[in-house]
Amino acid sequence: MSGTAFTRSGIYSAFMRAADTAGVAGINPKSLRSFAATQAKRQGASMEELQEGLGHTSLTTTDGYVRRHEIRRSKIQLSLPPETAKKA
């Protein structure tokens, strides 16, 4: 059917087949939306900008989308192996 629009179920099916072919489990097309929102936040977008872009009426909903992919990182930096004190 060249030249016709994909249906919602057609896009979903194509995405799931591609994920299966790539060996990626546990995602669906909506995962991309959440991932993109998280990346935009990391690049400096405000939560209000994300809320508007995602079309959410609640900032809580937007926060849930971002938290799905956000990985908290410690600010502590350790030297490995730890430096040992030099004996005088």
pLDDT digits (tens, 9 = 90+) for 12-62: 999 999 999 999 888 888 888 888 898 899 899 999 999 999 999 999 999
| Structural domains in the chain (count) | 1
Mean pLDDT of 4-15: 89
For 77, which DSSP code? -
Domain membership flag for residue 6: no
Question: Whole-angstrom Cα distance, residue 41 to residue 35?
Answer: 10
Residue with tokens 């872009």: 53
Domain membership flag for residue 88: no
Which pLDDT does position 25 carry in this prediction? Answer: 87
Which pLDDT does position 83 carry in this prediction? Answer: 64
Q: CA 50 → CA 31, 67, 82, distances in Å?
A: 15, 13, 41
Domain membership flag for residue 43: yes
For 75, which DSSP code? -
Question: Which structural domain, as residue segments, surrounds residue 62?
Answer: 27-69
